[in-house]
Amino acid sequence: LVLASELTSGGLSAGNLTSLGFTTTGAAGTVINFTIKIGNTGLSTLTTSFEYTPMTTVFTQATFSPVLGLNTHIFSTPFIWDGSSNIIIDVCQQNSVLGTTTVAAYTPGYASNLHIGAVGGCSAITGTAVANKQTMQIGGSFGTSGPGSYQWQWSPGLFPAGNVATTT
């Protein structure tokens, strides 16, 4: 769950989210059926019984082997953020070999929801509340298209300012 207030405090406005990255501090193994889905929501907290629809599938990859450092996934379909809703990010994968990958995290003021151990990937109907939110880098295009549009990389917990913005 990413709050609209987090995105707007970083300077983002309504527009297209085009990528999502995670920083891994330890990487071993390969995952299959890697997908990222995003949805707008009015919810401000998650529970262990959290399930949400509708979601837009923005990224799929048949196999993925994380590497140390930033792993950025460029969306095949941009997600249109309305500028005022909180967003749900659903990242799902299946382990195909034994291994452990550690993703950088920080402690926000609320819990995320983690579904683990399901044979079918993200088919578990309950999850485990975790206090550490993954450090994410969200990229997107906001404002007008063409010259003058903003390309954002939002990285809470990673940079002191919370985000990096460049114009193109």
Q: Is the bond preceding residue 54 a cis peptide, omega within 30 degrees?
A: yes
167 φ, ψ (degrees, to nearest 5): -105, 150
CB-side neighbour CA atoms (13 Å) of 90: 22
44, with CB counted inside 10 A (0-12, 13-18, 19+), is exposed
CB-side neighbour CA atoms (13 Å) of 158: 22
DSSP at 2: B
| pLDDT tens per residue, range 114-161 | 766 545 556 666 777 777 777 788 888 765 444 444 555 556 554 444
Stated pTM of the model: 0.79
